Structure 1
Amino acid sequence: MPAPSNPFKAALAAQTPQIGCWLSMGEAASAEIMGTCGFDWLVIDGEHGPNDLRSIRDQLMALERSESHPVVRIPVGETWMVKQVFDAGAQTVLVPLVETAAEAGAMARACRYPPQGVRGVGSSAARASRFAQIPDYLATANDEVCMLVQVETRKGMDNIEEIAAVDGVDGVFIGPADLSADMGHLGNAAHPDVKAAIAGGIARIREAGKAPGILMMDLQGAQEALGYGAVFVAVGIDVTLLAKAARALAAQARALVD
């Protein structure tokens, strides 16, 4: 029996648009709820969400029966972090703040077993192999892992073709918030210069033969990104969705008595 297939990886390779959302609460219960909503992919955010390896593992377990594919964003591009989240059961990892092809290559190797990579062979104790229940896991896992790297600085954008061309990188995600800050437009990802950089970056990723991705906080921005050629597009964050809906409801309810 081989490693489970990765439908998200296959969709990116086919350039089939995928709509996603961010999970920043760090809770298995909310992740399970989000897994019923119909998104193609959900990001378990280990960079800005209050997560550790165990909470990431618990959210992977909560999403195991969901049609939404879990993507784990680790806090920083460290080989040991990549190894841990793959052993915990992730098949797709997003690495923030990648600026060079060398950094992207190191991450691509971190998620694959030798000789293609440097992932440690400890699968018999890992959720990834169902604790050695998958006899062919070691022989087939490399084909199903998906490595996404996040470009969010001017330096990264300058090197985006070389980053996208790295063997073992399946997609390149542009981070509008950090990119806009690095370009001198903190808090204004809609600045014309930032939008032009994003549009150009998406085109350059596609020209390199890889899938471009992005997070947009409104549907107009998402539609623009898809029009530029983005393949995997996130359209919101769970924390923001909850806060916005609750605040609106509270204001409407207060209006009944004020």
Structure 2
Amino acid sequence: MFKLNPLKKRLAAGERLFGTWIASGSATNVEILGQTGFDFLLIDLEHGQGELGELIHMLRAAEVAGTPCIVRVAWNDPVILKRVLDAGVDSIMIPMVETAEEAAAAVRACHYPPHGARGYAAPLVRASNYGLVNDYIDIANDNILLIVQIESTAAASRAAAIAAVAGVDMVFIGVNDLAGSIGRLEQLDHPDVRTSVREAEDAIRASGRWLGTVPSAGASWRDLFEAGYNLVPVASDITLLRDAAIACVREQIEQRDGAAGAPALQPKRGY
């Protein structure tokens, strides 16, 4: 349902925000994690589970909990973007943006004319409280927080041009896919990967756009904030549940059988 975008307001005030991914598609997980103190929940419809119907349930759960959401869509597609925006999403992340032209296409899809080409159904959609926000089309464009993801070394080399596109609010560096684009998937501390990341960071900082990423290559969320990042998801509902379950099982086995019987599973970190 419509509200003035709290994340955009806090970012404009210079705040650094940390949150968690929602990859399960579970409104219950949203409801629980929304009450724990994260600045935002990042609902993932690219790699995560859930479709439009589940998204609306997750948004309702977050609204009850009082925690704002960002939604990562599956692709830079105007039909997908239109439906997600009409569902009431005001902070949206678009993956795999490779060029300034693709960033401009995202801006067009997310904004009403004259600044874009978002289709009109304002009196009917959840985003306008089903028409009860009478001036929705006058304020919707400015209310959107539009985040584009740079996820390849080619995109990193074009970061200045991507960040310069009017209507882009934040550029989010996807380090693992960037590493994969040069055959270094999961080698996040490789010098070639770090060089490409620094190239993108420098260009985005110089543009004045907000900057986001996930912790990688040993950098904590504190390190990233000190380096000038504005928004960092630090965990996901899947990893929080998985790691807590592993720790619980390990503790029970150690108490029952001794340390030698503890499970050896070591989950990967960094996403």
TM-score by length of 1: 0.94
Moved more, 71-80 or 132-141: 132-141
Give the deviation of 1:16 after TM superposition: 2.1
5+ long unaligned stretches in structure 1: none
Aligned equivalents of 1:199 and 1:36: distance in 2? 35
Task: Evaluate the alpha carbon distance shift between residue 219 and residue 65 of structure 1 in structure 2; reply closer, same or farther with a 3 A threshold.
Answer: farther
Question: Counterparts in 2 of 1:17-32, with a 5 A limit?
Answer: 17-32=16-31
Residues 1:237 and 2:236 aligned together? yes
Give the deviation of 1:219 after TM superposition: 7.9
Report if aligned partners of 1:15, 1:211 keep a CA contact under 8 Å in 2: no
1:17-66: CA deviation from partner (whole Å, max 9, x where unpaired): 11111110101010111111111111100000111111111111111133
Task: Provide the secondary structure at the position in 1 that maps to 2:211.
Answer: strand
Query: What is aligned with 2:44?
Result: 45
Aligned equivalents of 1:22 and 1:218: distance in 2? 19
Give the deviation of 1:234 after TM superposition: 1.1
Determine which structure has greater relative contact order: mean sequence separation of CA pairs < 8 Å that are 6+ residues apart, divided by chain length.
Answer: 1
Give the deviation of 1:12 after TM superposition: 2.8
Give the deviation of 1:199 after TM superposition: 3.2
Query: What is aligned with 1:56?
Result: 55
Aligned equivalents of 2:21 and 2:189: distance in 1? 20
Give the deviation of 1:11 after TM superposition: 2.6
Report if aligned partners of 2:188, 2:217 keep a CA contact under 8 Å in 1: no
Query: What is aligned with 1:118?
Result: 117
Aligned equivalents of 2:185 and 2:122: distance in 1? 43
Aligned equivalents of 2:217 and 2:92: distance in 1? 24
Query: What is aligned with 2:128?
Result: 129
Report if aligned partners of 1:40, 1:67 keep a CA contact under 8 Å in 2: no
Moved more, 90-99 or 219-228: 219-228
Report if aligned partners of 1:203, 1:228 keep a CA contact under 8 Å in 2: no
Query: What is aligned with 1:158?
Result: 157
Aligned equivalents of 2:67 and 2:199: distance in 1? 29
Query: What is aligned with 2:213?
Result: 214
Task: Provide the secondary structure at the position in 2 that maps to 1:44.
Answer: strand
Aligned-pair identity (%): 37
Task: Provide the secondary structure at the position in 1 that maps to 2:50.
Answer: coil
Task: Evaluate the alpha carbon distance shift between residue 61 and residue 217 of structure 1 in structure 2; reply closer, same or farther with a 3 A threshold.
Answer: farther
Question: Counterparts in 2 of 1:1-258, with a 5 A limit?
Answer: 4-216=3-215, 220-258=219-257
Report if aligned partners of 1:100, 1:163 keep a CA contact under 8 Å in 2: yes
User: Could you tell me which amino acid in structure 2 is paired with residue 47 of structure 1?
Assistant: E
1:97-151: CA deviation from partner (whole Å, max 9, x where unpaired): 0010110011011111111111111122211111111111112111101110000
Task: Provide the secondary structure at the position in 1 that maps to 2:199.
Answer: helix
TM-score by length of 2: 0.90
Report if aligned partners of 1:23, 1:31 keep a CA contact under 8 Å in 2: yes
Give the deviation of 1:161 after TM superposition: 0.4
1:146-186: CA deviation from partner (whole Å, max 9, x where unpaired): 11000000111011001001100000000011011112211
Aligned equivalents of 2:197 and 2:214: distance in 1? 11
User: Could you tell me which amino acid in structure 1 is paired with residue 3 of structure 2?
Assistant: P
Task: Evaluate the alpha carbon distance shift between residue 227 and residue 183 of structure 1 in structure 2; reply closer, same or farther with a 3 A threshold.
Answer: farther
Aligned equivalents of 2:71 and 2:107: distance in 1? 15
Report if aligned partners of 1:99, 1:155 keep a CA contact under 8 Å in 2: yes
Alpha carbon RMSD of aligned pairs, Å? 1.6
User: Could you tell me which amino acid in structure 1 is paired with residue 239 of structure 2?
Assistant: T
Report if aligned partners of 1:25, 1:238 keep a CA contact under 8 Å in 2: yes
Task: Provide the secondary structure at the position in 1 that maps to 2:96.
Answer: coil
Aligned equivalents of 1:209 and 1:66: distance in 2? 32
Give the deviation of 1:198 after TM superposition: 2.2
Max radius of gyration: which structure?
A: 2
Aligned residues: 256
Give the deviation of 1:217 after TM superposition: 6.1
